[in-house]
Amino acid sequence: MSVLVTLRVKGDATKLERFVAQNPGRMESTVERGKKHGVISHHFYGNDSEIIVVDEWPSEDASNAFFAASPEIREYMEAAGATTPPEVTFWRKLETHDDVDKSPSIAASAA
C-alpha cells in the first residue's frame, strides 16, 4: 500500500516560487527523478511563513531513496529562507470507508 509523505518547513512560499521561476530546469529535473523513483503524486503548498510538500509514494523506501538522490532539495529550502529543518512524516491510509476525491486533475484525467 502506498504512503503519504508530508514535509513541513518554516519558510516563505513566495521566495520558493520566485527561485523556481528563475531556475526553470532545476525543478523539472527533480520532478523527473521523482518519477523514476516512483512518485505517485506531488504538491507544494505554502503561505508567508510555512511550506508543506504533500507526496504519495509506493513506499517509505522509495521516498527515502528519492530524497537521498536529490541534494538540490536543500537548495530549494534555502532559497525559500527555511528557518527550521524539515519535519518529514509518513502517513498510512486508514480504512474508514468515507473517501471523497473530486480533484479537478483526477476528473480531467478520467475523461
The band of 106, judged by pLDDT with boundaries at 50, 70 and 90, is: low
Quick: pLDDT tens for 34-93. 999 999 999 999 998 999 999 999 999 999 999 999 999 999 999 999 988 999 999 999
Q: Is the pTM of this model over 0.85?
A: no
From residue 16, alpha-carbon distances to 13, 38, 39, 81, 95 in Å are 5, 24, 21, 8, 35
Helix axes 24-36, 13-22, angle to 10 degrees: 100
- Amino acid identity of residue 84, one-letter, is T
Residue 24: per-residue pLDDT: 82
Q: What φ, ψ does residue 28 adopt, rounded to 5°?
A: -60, -40
Q: What is the mean predicted confidence (pLDDT) over 8-23?
A: 94
Spatial distance between the Cα atoms of 34 and 70, rounded to a whole number of angstroms: 9
Residue 108 has pLDDT above 60, yes or no: no
Alpha carbon 23 to its chain centroid, in Å, reads 18
Q: Which domains does the chain have, with CATH numbers?
A: 3-95 (3.30.70.100)
Quick: pLDDT tens for 92-101. 999 999 988 8
- Amino acid identity of residue 15, one-letter, is K
Task: Report residue 17 as a C-alpha cell.
Answer: 516560487
Spatial distance between the Cα atoms of 10 and 13, rounded to a whole number of angstroms: 9
